[in-house]
């Protein structure tokens, strides 16, 4: 019984440590840079537009790009 409690506490502590290390992503999508520079790293989320295409976050405030209007556009996904 004692061993089970110790294992449970160790797993819970490891999970909390991972969540702290990973950072807390929020609604803005901004994740603090861990390399000490003033750069911004955006989360890799996508928003589905009414026409069925998807847009990602970008720019200094990690805002979603605007959805295309009118003619359906080709969607390109670029790797960082």
* Structure confidence at residue 80 (pLDDT): 57
* Structure confidence at residue 62 (pLDDT): 87
CA distance 65 to 30: 14
Query: Across the chain, how many H-helices and E-strands are there?
Result: 1, 5
pTM: 0.42
CA distance 25 to 43: 7
Backbone angles phi, psi at 2, to 5 degrees: -65, -40
CA quadruple 56, 77, 36, 60: dihedral sign: negative
The model's pLDDT over 46-79, given as tens digits with 9 standing for 90+, comes to: 999 999 899 998 888 888 999 988 655 555 666 6
Six token digits for residue 19 = 């969540």
Mean pLDDT, residues 22-45 taken together = 64
């Amino acid at each position: 019984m004692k061993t089970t409690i110790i294992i449970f506490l160790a797993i819970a502590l490891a999970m909390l440590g991972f969540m702290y290390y990973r950072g807390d992503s929020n609604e803005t999508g901004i994740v603090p840079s861990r390399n000490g520079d003033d750069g911004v790293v955006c989360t890799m989320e996508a928003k589905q537009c009414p026409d069925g295409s998807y847009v990602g976050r970008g720019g200094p405030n990690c805002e979603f790009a605007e959805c295309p209007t009118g003619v359906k556009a080709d969607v390109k996904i670029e790797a960082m």
